[in-house]
Homo-oligomer: A and B are copies of this chain.
C-alpha cells in the first residue's frame, strides 16, 4: 500500500549518491586530501559578499513578520520587478513582473512547466542528449514522456535531424539546456535559429504550439561565447531559471519561470503555471530569498573561479591524451573513455579516487562527467592520478 514508483525513485540510489558514499569511505581510508571528488554540482565559490550584507540588513532593518510572511503565490512584486528589470537591461527583453513566477529553484521550475504543458498521458517532450538525468524523472512524474535525441559526440551541438525525427503530434515541448550540463557546450545562435525554424514548421504541421523550454541555470557561467536569449529567436519560449549557480545558493531553492508576452496563449499558460505550482504544494518561493533576489538580481558570485579551474583542468587532460569537448560554459567536462571502455574507465577512476559521474545517466554512455566547481588546489593534486589513469589505458 505504498507507491512502488515512489519507492523505486527514493531507494534506487543515483550514481552521484553512490559516489558520494564511496568518497566518504575512501577519505576515511586514504585521507580527504587524496580523494578527488568531481561528482557534485555544488558551487565552490561563495555568494557575493554584497548578498550576505543585504541578508544582514534585511534581518536588522525590516519588519520580521513581513520578511518571513507569505508572499503571493507567484512571488513578491519586488522580486519579480527586479528580475524583469535585470533581464530587460541585459537582453533587451520586454518582460514585466506579470510574466514572472518565482519558484523553489530549477527543479520546481521544470516540474511546474511540465505539469502545465502535459495535456494527455504521454504528452511528449524532446531533449538532446547528453541531458540532466532528472529531466526524465520530472517529465514522467508529471504524466508525460521524455524522448531523447542521441548525442552528437563530435560537437555535442544540437542534432536537428535527430530532434525532428522525435517530434510527433503529441509533442508539447523541446527542452534545451545551454550552457549544457554535462558537456559545457553553448548552443550557437545559428543552430538555435534552425531549431526555431524546425519547431515553427512542426507547430504549423500539427496546428498547435510546440514550446521551447529553456533551462538556464548556467547562463551566467560562460567563457567567451554568448548565450542567446531564446525568446528573441522563437516566440514560444519559456524559461526555467535558478539562482543556484549564479548566486551560489543551490540549497536555498530560489529561481523563476519566465513566460514572455510573445508566447501563444500567454495568459492561459501563466495561469496554468500558477495552477501547477499550487497543485504540487508550492505555496510560494522562500520569502527571505525572494527579498534577497529583489536586491541582488543583477549580481553574480565570482564566477571567474570556474574559468580558472577550467583553464587548468581542460588543457591538462587534453595534453595527457584525453578526448573532451572544450567547454564554453557551466563547470563540467565530459571526458571520453579511452579505448571506448566506459565501465572499465569509471572503475579505474574510482580506484584512483577520482570521483566522476558516468555518462550513461546523461543519455550518453562512454563518458565521465567531471564537475570542476571545486577547490583549485584539489585539481592540482589530482593531475598525477589523471595521468596514471590515462596511462593505464595506453
Does A119 make an interface contact (CB < 8 A)? yes
Quote the shortest CB–CB distance from A287 to chain B (angstroms). 3
Pick the interface stretch among A63-71, A91-99, A330-338, A359-367: A63-71
State the interface size on chain A (CB cutoff 8 A): 81
Residue of B nearest to A276 (CB): B6
A256-292, CB < 8 A from B? 265, 268-290
Which residues of A, 313-361, contact B by the 8 Å Cβ criterion? none
B275–A9 touching, CB < 8 Å:
yes
- CB < 8 Å neighbour of A138 from B3, B265, B281, B289: B281
Chain B residues positioned under 8 Å from A253 (CB to CB): 104, 283-287
| Complex CA–CA separation, A253 to B69 (angstroms) | 10
CB within 8 Å for A3 and B276 given contacts A59-B55, A252-B288:
yes
- As for how many copies of this chain the complex holds, the number is 2
Q: Which of B55, B172, B278 contacts A9 (CB 8 A)?
A: B278
Q: A280 → chain B, closest Cβ, in Å?
A: 5
Main SS class of interface, A: helix
| A88 sits at the interface (CB 8 A) | no
Establish whether residues A268 and B9, one from each chain, have CB atoms under 8 Å apart when the complex forms.
no
| Contact status of A105 and B283, CB under 8 A, knowing A3-B115, A172-B1, A288-B252 | yes
Min distance, Cβ A126 to any Cβ of chain B, angstroms: 15
Residue in B3, B44, B272 whose beta carbon sits within 8 Å of that of A116 in the complex: B3
A112-B281 CB under 8 A given contacts A46-B65, A117-B3, A250-B69? yes
Chain B nearest CB from A271 CB (Å) reads 4
Shortest Cβ distance from A105 into B: residue:
B283
Does chain B have a CB within 8 A of A108?
A: yes
Interface string of A24-63 (1 = CB under 8 A from B): 0000000000000000101111110000100110011001
A198: min CB distance to chain B, Å: 17
User: A279 is contacted by which of B68, B137, B249, B289 (Cβ under 8 Å)?
Assistant: B137
Asked whether A280 and B280 contact (CB < 8 A) given A52-B64, A115-B3, the answer is yes
List of B residues within 8 angstroms of A271 by Cβ: 6-7, 10-11
Query: A268 CA to B10 CA in the complex, in Å?
Result: 9
Check A10–B280 contact: CB distance below 8 A.
Answer: no
Minimum C-beta distance from A273 to chain B (A): 7
Is the pair B288, A70 in contact by a Cβ cutoff of 8 Å? no
Give chain B residues whose Cβ lies under 8 Å from the Cβ of A68.
47, 248-252
Provide the bound-state CA to CA distance between A268 and B6, in Å.
10
Evaluate contact between B119 and A281: CB separation under 8 angstroms: no
Indicate if A195 sits at the interface (CB-CB under 8 A): no
Q: Chain B nearest CB: distance from A269 CB in Å?
A: 5
Check: A370 CB closer than 8 A to any chain B CB.
no
Beta-carbon nearest neighbor of A67 in chain B:
B251
* Docked complex Cα distance between A280 and B278 (Å): 12
Quick check: is A388 within 8 A (CB to CB) of the other chain? no
Min distance, Cβ A267 to any Cβ of chain B, angstroms:
9
Listed by A's residue number, 11 A-B pairs whose Cβ atoms lie within 8 Å are: A1-B119, A3-B115, A3-B276, A43-B65, A47-B64, A65-B248, A70-B250, A134-B278, A252-B287, A253-B286, A280-B280
